[in-house]
Structure 1
Amino acid sequence: MGMSWLDRLIQGQLSKQQLVDADDALPGRDTEVPVAAEHLLLRHPMRGSVGTDDSTGIGAFPDGLNAVVLAGGCFWGVEEIYWQIPGVYTTAVGYAGGYTANPSYEEVCTARTGHTESVLVVFDPTVIDLEAVLAVFWETHDPTQEMRQGNDVGTQYRSAVYTLSEADAVLARRSAEKFGTVLAEAGRGPVATEIAPLTQAGDGHFYYAEDYHQQYLAKNPNGYRCHAATGLKYPA
């Protein structure tokens, strides 16, 4: 007897929750995805200037700014939260933590690239520091869920913090521990968020998503938002 539609659905969801190995990932391509020169709302570049060493794909932003790559479910809603925060210079959605070079959205959705939907947040630390950026991150998604956020299931929805330095990764881990204490006191599970310097996550690259995804909810105000938040606050 063949599998029922429910069995096939469950099997499909389970397969999308298994991280692909580098050797089994889709091959990708050499050509970068073109995106608009400026953020639709913030009017700053989404890509940094490209120097001799641009191994992360992000480029260099003006001196004094810092950046972090955050994954907390569907990247449309995560980006919308961050572009509204004072001190944020620019945001962009993309794919990180995987192995397929310059993947398409359709490829990422197969769970065969290893990427998670991510948001690049470039910010001015004299206005908002990294811990405050992360406090918003912990409060606006559920970091206890593995390979999903709410009804969005798959490795592309896993929670992650990819930093541009080891020092920032140390701070992010401490931040996770602080929020983990709050979760434990509320009887919730532990933080399942992947935390690492971007250079140590998958192939170490942030790939910009297709232009129609950039600032999607500014272009489509009634579009989909998924925030499977715990309702808990980051400790002061």
Structure 2
Amino acid sequence: MSFMTMLTKKFAMPDPAEALPGRADAIEPSEAHFVNGHSLTGPYPDGTKTVLLGMGCFWGAERIFWQLPGVHATAVGYAGGFTPNPTYHETCTGRTGHTEAVLVVYDPETVTLETLLKVFWENHDPTQGMRQGNDTGTQYRSAIYVASDDELEIAERSRGAYQDALKGAGIASTITTEIKVLDQFYFAEDYHQQYLAKNPGGYCGIGGTGVACPVGLHQGA
């Protein structure tokens, strides 16, 4: 494969037949959440729900969500692609099809999915396709992966509302966020989990459009 072909592939999803083979053994976090001490892998408390959110580099994205009231735990990993149990290095090649994602475990009695999505939309630019700022490649694409058709409807409705908000602010770009029902999440390596709590001066590429999202303004935190 030529260099130019490899470069192009990073900006387009690989064909499943071309994806890296991965492995049978999963990466399992060996420690509890660095900030709140909760289990990353569960079992989670009764009544909690989960959503997977891709906003570019998962270090900064995870920090946003672990600070929200009602969020029980967060973890970073890979989702939306084809390679089973990928590594960080493999995901960065663009040949797994995965995006960097944050697993958010939350109590819907305290913080609603609509409110989490409001935070999601406002803290990155969902119109950039296979990139987020200076971070480029399929692993940085914007994504919302939910657990049910009902949640899919909520996510799609929130996308429409934020698209309208962008238009109202004079931004003509179209939202490229991938939204689908997905229950497969692969945990990232230990050193990525709660990275910015362990390394406060570490890289954080998170940045929004400056446009407020009307979704969830009167709900949750």
Same fold (TM over 0.5): yes
User: Which residue in 2 is equivalent to 1:27?
Assistant: 21
Q: How far off is 1:11 after superposition?
A: 6.6
Q: Aligned to 2:170, which of 184, 187, 208?
A: 187
SS of equivalent to 1:217: helix
Q: Aligned to 2:202, which of 209, 212, 223?
A: 223
Q: CA RMSD in A?
A: 1.5
Q: Aligned to 2:80, which of 91, 94, 97?
A: 97
> In structure 1, how many angstroms separate the alpha carbons of the residues matched to 2:58 and 2:150?
25
Give the aligned length. Answer: 213
Q: Aligned to 2:151, which of 168, 174, 183?
A: 168
Gaps of 5+ in 2: none
Q: How far off is 1:44 after superposition?
A: 1.0
SS of equivalent to 2:212: coil
Gaps of 5+ in 1: 1-7, 50-60, 200-204
User: Which residue in 2 is equivalent to 1:5?
Assistant: none
- 1:82 aligned partner, one-letter code: F
Q: Is contact 1:37-1:47 (8 Å) kept?
A: no
Q: How far off is 1:228 after superposition?
A: 3.3
* Percent of residue pairs bearing the same amino acid type: 52
Q: How far off is 1:32 after superposition?
A: 1.0
Q: Aligned to 1:212, which of 165, 171, 191?
A: 191
TM-score, normalised with respect to structure 1? 0.87
Matches within 5 A, 1:1-236: 13-49=7-43, 61-188=44-171, 189-199=173-183, 205-235=184-214, 236=217
Q: Deviations over 1:177-223 (max 9, x none)?
A: 11110011122212110000114xxxxx2000000000000111000
> In structure 2, how many angstroms separate the alpha carbons of the residues matched to 1:95 and 1:132?
23
- 2:84 aligned partner, one-letter code: A
Q: Is contact 1:87-1:124 (8 Å) kept?
A: yes
TM-score, normalised with respect to structure 2? 0.92
Q: How far off is 1:89 after superposition?
A: 0.2
Classify 1:11/1:185 alpha carbon distance in 2 versus 1 (closer, same or farther; 3 Å): farther
Q: How far off is 1:62 after superposition?
A: 2.0
Q: How far off is 1:63 after superposition?
A: 1.5
SS of equivalent to 2:165: helix
SS of equivalent to 2:96: coil
Q: Is contact 1:147-1:156 (8 Å) kept?
A: yes
SS of equivalent to 1:137: helix
